[in-house]
Chains A and B, each alone.
Chain A
């Protein structure tokens, strides 16, 4: 596609359920990032994928969060046993090769609401 695509656009779920968020980056982009945007916390980095290399998971807030990227393209972010503090907008971005001079292109995000 022309841009970064994320699904679902909105997700409402009950506390304790697992959720999967999907990101389809721009074709040809090897670098993929997940960020979380929550009220009072701003935008925070979660995880970074570069091609087939091991991801940098240093931003994941707990072991309930995991992510994978299949075939170097589509990525899924999974949150297990969701908590109310997980409510946020989850943004995915991709860039050419993850170089500093390459702007990141963002999707529209997934708004996650935990009841």
Chain B
């Protein structure tokens, strides 16, 4: 079974500073995707960034980037120039492998609550 672990229940950062959220996972697949989702108080899960495992280059989306270490099965999210609107719960997620009956059901980590201080 696939697992995803986020070991930081809460993190805080000062506005304009940089913060890194950690995620480790376990899968027997050699090619897979990983996602970071953001969940603000509105409850809607919003995709932040995704990484394909066979790509060596770390994904980047504006102020958001990942540090993907395949051998270590680590997938951390770095938020640069943090803004008040970044405050939310962040989830790391791993989809089921292709061909399973549950499509690409996501296995989520426990989440990290990020607070941004003005």
CB–CB B50/A31 < 8 A: no
Binding site secondary structure of chain B = loop
B109: which A residues are within 8 A, CB to CB?
42
B52: which A residues are within 8 A, CB to CB?
101
Give the nearest-CB partner of A102 in chain B.
Answer: B104
Among B10-18, B57-65, B78-86, B95-103, the stretch that binds chain A is B95-103
A-contacting residues, B70-118, CB 8 Å = 91, 95-98, 101-111
Is B35 an interface position by the 8 A CB rule? yes
CB–CB B111/A42 < 8 A: yes
Distance A106 CA – B98 CA, assembled complex (angstroms): 20
Distance A103 CA – B101 CA, assembled complex (angstroms): 17
Residues on A facing B (Cβ under 8 Å): 31, 33, 35, 42-43, 45, 48, 50, 56, 58-59, 89, 91, 93, 95, 98-109, 111
- Say which residue of B32, B33, B45 sits within 8 Å of A106 (CB atoms): B45
Distance A102 CA – B96 CA, assembled complex (angstroms): 12
Minimum C-beta distance from B32 to chain A (A): 7
Is B28 an interface position by the 8 A CB rule? no
CB–CB B102/A58 < 8 A: yes
Give the nearest-CB partner of B35 in chain A.
Answer: A103
B108: which A residues are within 8 A, CB to CB?
42-43
Minimum C-beta distance from A36 to chain B (A): 11
A42: which B residues are within 8 A, CB to CB?
108-111
CB–CB B45/A98 < 8 A: no
Is B30 an interface position by the 8 A CB rule? no
